Amino acid sequence: MTDHVIERLGHKGDGITGDGLRAALTLPGEVVSGAPENGRITDPRIVAPSPDRVRAPCAHFRSCGGCALQHASDDFVARWKAQVVETALAAQGIVAPFRPIHTSPPRTRRRATLAGRRTKKGALVGFHARRSDTIVPITECHVLHPDLLTLVPVLEEVTRLGASRNAVLGFALTRSDAGVDCAVTGGKPLDEALRLALPRFVPHFARLTWGDETVFTANPPAQRFGPAQVIPPPGAFLQATPDGEAALVAAVQEAVGEARHVADLFAGCGTFTLPLAQTAAVHAVEGAADLTEALDHATRHATGLKPITLETRDLFRRPLLPDELTRFDAVLLDPPRAGAEAQVAQIAEAGVPRIAYASCNPVTFARDAKALCEAGYRIDWVQVVDQFRWSPHVELAAQISRAHISAA
Ligand X SMILES: C[S@@+](CC[C@H](N)C(=O)[O-])C[C@H]1O[C@@H](n2cnc3c(N)ncnc32)[C@H](O)[C@@H]1O
Of 94 and 288, which CB lies nearer to ligand X in the complex structure?
288
Smaller CB separation from ligand X, 58 or 269: 269
290 touching ligand X, by CB under 6 A: no
Does position 80 interact with ligand X (CB under 6 A)? The reply is no
- Residue 64 annotated among the catalytic residues of the structure: no
Whether 298 contacts 274, CB under 8 Å: yes
Q: Binding to ligand X by residue 291, rule CB under 6 A?
A: yes
Residues in the chain: 408
Q: Nearer Cβ to ligand X, position 209 or 239?
A: 239
- Closest to ligand X by CB, 17 vs 273, is 273
When binding is defined by CB under 6 A, the residue of 36, 106, 322, 336 that contacts ligand X is 336
Residue 221 interacts with ligand X (CB under 6 A): yes or no: no
- The nearest distance, CB 312 to ligand X, in angstroms, is 8
391 scored as a contact of ligand X (CB under 6 A): no
3-state SS string over the chain?
CEEEEEEEECCCCCEEECCCCEECCCCCCCEEEECEECCEECCCEEEECCCCECCCCCCCCCCECCCCCCCECHHHHHHHHHHHHHHHHHHCCCCCCEEEEEECCCCCECEEEEEEEECCCCEEEEEEECCCCCEEECCCCCCECHHHHCCHHHHHHHHHHHCCCCCEEEEEEEEECCEEEEEEECCCCCCHHHHHHHHHHCCCCCEEEECCEEEEECCCCCEEECCEEECCCCCCCCCCCHHHHHHHHHHHHHHHCCCCEEEEECCCCCCCHHHHCCCCEEEEEECCHHHHHHHHHHHHHCCCCCCEEEEECCCCCCCCCHHHHCCCCEEEECCCCCCCHHHHHHHHHHCCCEEEEEECCHHHHHHHHHHHHHCCEEEEEEEEEECCCCCCCCEEEEEEEECCCCCC
Part in contact with ligand X (CB under 6 A); list of ranges 4-12, 118-126, 175-183, 314-322? 314-322
Kindly state the smallest distance separating residue 126's Cβ from ligand X, in Å.
Answer: 26
Of the candidates 58, 269, 360, 373, the residue annotated as catalytic is: 360
Binding residues for ligand X restricted to 350-389, rule: CB under 6 A: 360
Which is closer to ligand X, CB of 138 or CB of 231?
Answer: 231
Query: Which of 82, 124, 267, 369 is close enough to bind ligand X by CB under 6 A?
Result: 267
| Closest separation in Å from C-beta 27 to ligand X | 30
Is there binding between residue 287 and ligand X (CB under 6 A)?
yes
Closest residue by Cα to residue 27 from 72, 60, 87: 72
**Residue (321 or 403) nearer to ligand X, CB:** 321
- Residue 316 lies near ligand X (rule: CB under 6 A): yes
Q: Does 104 bind ligand X (CB under 6 A)?
A: no
Q: Provide the minimum distance between the beta carbon of 359 and ligand X in the complex, in angstroms, as a whole number.
A: 8
- Residue 49 CB, nearest distance to ligand X (Å)? 37
Applying CB under 6 A, among 52, 181, 334, 368 the residue interacting with ligand X is: 334
- The answer to whether 271 contacts ligand X (rule: CB under 6 A) is yes
- Binding residues for ligand X, rule: CB under 6 A, are 237-239, 266-268, 271-272, 286-288, 291, 314-316, 334-336, 360
Residue positions annotated with a catalytic role? 360
